[in-house]
């Protein structure tokens, strides 16, 4: 059977996850904070001549006035979601069903503003800045994919902006998708299906192994409803990168050494071929091992990192020999494009400070007020009972904040380009819900609160660029 009745009790302790009073209070605080911080930083932007997003700290977002039809579509999607939750209360959903529901909701909320804005524009972009436009020209300009890689260093400056600030894999990914699906809308859907399916698969494996098998399906459901996932898992390169980063964590923590090494090396190589921000996951793994060594008072597991690093170096040399593609040269050019005036703290200090705050707050807003509260509540429990996940999450926060301090990421990039942070932010939430044994009714309340924010943000904002 696709669906089977719940055999375990849906009852938990009598504690409310959030009382009605708390829901109203936290929602109002969230909205007021957003409005106040937006006003303050727009004033600062005027004073210091720094371009600040109108809806600061959510950059690259255009406020919309939805039509009656669009509001009706949004309400219909939300009502459909409530019906799904009603069924979910009585029946256990297989992981495949949860993934399917998540994919349909991502596509559905994206379609609130129409087919063009919802499915076509996310792939084609605005102003021809992104990978799609170079991908469809590969055969005309470079003959084939091999030739594209071979002369990438020479042609990098002639590519569209996003293409020239990434390794060639970013363009080649969209080239493959274009050859298979051709239409932009289908490419958007394909990216959604690939990223949502494999993210859910690997995250499910990590949660089952590191926490508990029972909590996993619900948490995958919650993850796929997050505003950041609903908004940016459609046609976004970083949805694929997020998927690969989750896979790295799954393989790296795998108990079998051979599987761990092969899987980690393959996934990190693919990440490196798609983005220069591969430095994030490499930094996280090194920081994780350093923290573990400090905690255990002895050096542990650096042999694995040594093998992984050596293997990746050998792959880099192979690409240099076979394809004549110099990764370092390409990275330095991309870095110059991103920071044409040098280190932004020195070159543009006011912009540096404003965008650093923006980067952090944008991640928080796309996570939502109730998830932030549960993250804070669950963090001490994770620290006490789940050492590896605690050290891993700390490592992620240290490396991400270090990148921010180094000036990486500019305005309006973090909820999209740092979507890989959200699986790690989910860990304390999972642990808090699991340890307090909340009833399914209370946990479903959280799903509703999270999805309400998603629907509102998708109805009144346009984030694709």
Residue 152 lies in a domain: no
Residue 163 lies in a domain: no
CA 192, CA 11: separation in Å to the nearest integer?
A: 34
Q: Please say whether the beta carbons of 417 and 400 come within 8 A.
A: no
* pLDDT at residue 284 is higher than 70: yes
Residue 162 binned pLDDT confidence (cut-offs 50, 70, 90): confident
Residue 3 is predicted with a pLDDT of: 62
Residue 6 lies in a domain: no
* Torsions phi, psi for 3 (to 5 deg): -120, 140
* pLDDT at residue 12 is higher than 70: no
Collapsed DSSP state (helix, strand, coil) of residue 5: strand
Please give the biggest Cα pair distance in the chain.
Answer: 65
pLDDT digits (tens, 9 = 90+) for 175-195: 999 999 989 999 999 999 999
Comparing 8-12, 143-147, 174-178, 308-312, the range with the smallest average pLDDT is: 8-12
Comparing 205-214, 273-282, 367-376, the range with the smallest average pLDDT is: 205-214
Q: Which of 139-153, 329-343, 354-368, 409-423 has the highest mean pLDDT?
A: 354-368
* pLDDT at residue 324 is higher than 60: yes
Residue 144 lies in a domain: no
Residue 9 binned pLDDT confidence (cut-offs 50, 70, 90): low
Q: Residue 437: which domain range?
A: 18-124+183-462
Residue 172 lies in a domain: no
Residue predicted with more confidence, 114 or 413: 114
Three-state DSSP string of 337-356: HHCCCCCHHHHCHHHHHHHH
Residue 149 lies in a domain: no
Residue 245 is predicted with a pLDDT of: 96
Helices 20-48 and 369-385 cross at an angle (nearest 10°) of 100
The residue length of the chain stands at 465
CA 457, CA 294: separation in Å to the nearest integer?
A: 43
Name which of 311, 313, 291 is nearest 303 in CA terms: 311
Query: What's the rounded mean pLDDT across residues 354-382?
Result: 94
- Residue pointed to by tokens 């005027």: 46
Residue 131 lies in a domain: no
Q: How many domains does the chain have?
A: 1
Residue 129 lies in a domain: no
Residue 2 binned pLDDT confidence (cut-offs 50, 70, 90): low
Residue 129 is predicted with a pLDDT of: 59
pLDDT digits (tens, 9 = 90+) for 262-275: 999 999 999 999 99
Average pLDDT, the chain: 89
Residue 123 is predicted with a pLDDT of: 87
């Amino acid at each position: 059977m696709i669906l089977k009745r719940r055999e375990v009790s849906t009852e938990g302790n009598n504690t409310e996850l959030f009382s009605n009073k708390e829901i109203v209070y936290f929602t109002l605080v969230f909205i007021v904070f957003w409005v106040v911080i937006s006003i303050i930083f727009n004033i600062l932007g005027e004073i210091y001549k720094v371009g600040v997003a109108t809806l600061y700290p959510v950059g690259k977002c255009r406020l919309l006035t939805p039509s009656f039809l669009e509001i009706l579509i949004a309400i219909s999607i939300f009502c459909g979601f409530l019906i799904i939750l009603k069924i979910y209360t009585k029946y256990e959903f297989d992981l495949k069903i949860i993934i399917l529901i998540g994919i349909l909701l991502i596509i559905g909320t994206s379609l609130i503003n129409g087919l063009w804005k919802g499915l076509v524009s996310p792939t084609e972009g605005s102003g021809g800045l992104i990978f799609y436009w170079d991908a469809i020209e590969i055969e005309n300009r470079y003959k084939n994919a091999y030739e594209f890689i071979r002369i990438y260093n020479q042609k990098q400056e002639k590519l569209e902006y996003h293409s020239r600030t990434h390794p060639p894999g970013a363009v080649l990914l969209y080239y493959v998708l274009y050859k298979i699906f051709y239409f932009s809308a289908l490419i958007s859907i394909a990216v959604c299906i690939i990223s949502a399916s494999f993210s859910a698969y690997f995250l499910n494996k990590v949660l089952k192994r590191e926490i508990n098998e029972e909590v996993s399906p619900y948490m995958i459901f919650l993850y796929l409803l997050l505003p950041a996932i609903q908004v940016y898992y459609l046609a976004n390169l970083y949805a694929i990168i997020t998927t690969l980063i989750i896979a790295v964590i799954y393989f790296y923590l795998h108990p079998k050494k051979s599987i761990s090494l092969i899987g980690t090396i393959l996934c990190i190589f693919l990440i490196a071929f798609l983005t220069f921000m591969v430095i994030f996951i490499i930094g996280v793994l090194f920081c994780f091992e350093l923290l573990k060594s400090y905690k255990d008072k002895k050096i542990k597991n650096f042999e694995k990192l040594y093998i992984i690093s050596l293997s990746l170096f050998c792959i880099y040399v192979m690409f240099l020999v076979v394809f004549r593609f110099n990764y370092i040269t390409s990275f330095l050019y991309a870095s110059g494009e991103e920071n044409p005036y040098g280190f932004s703290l020195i070159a543009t200090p006011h912009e540096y400070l404003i965008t650093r705050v923006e980067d952090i707050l944008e991640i928080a807003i796309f996570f939502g007020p109730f998830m932030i509260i549960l993250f804070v509540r669950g963090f001490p429990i994770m620290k006490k009972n789940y050492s590896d996940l605690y050290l891993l999450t700390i490592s992620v926060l240290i490396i991400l904040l270090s990148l921010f301090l180094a000036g990486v990421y500019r305005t309006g990039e973090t909820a999209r380009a740092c979507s890989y942070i959200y699986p790690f932010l989910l860990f304390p939430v999972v642990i808090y819900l699991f340890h307090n044994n909340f009833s399914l009714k209370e946990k479903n309340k959280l799903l509703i609160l999270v999805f309400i924010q998603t629907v509102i943000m998708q109805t009144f904002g346009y984030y694709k660029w």
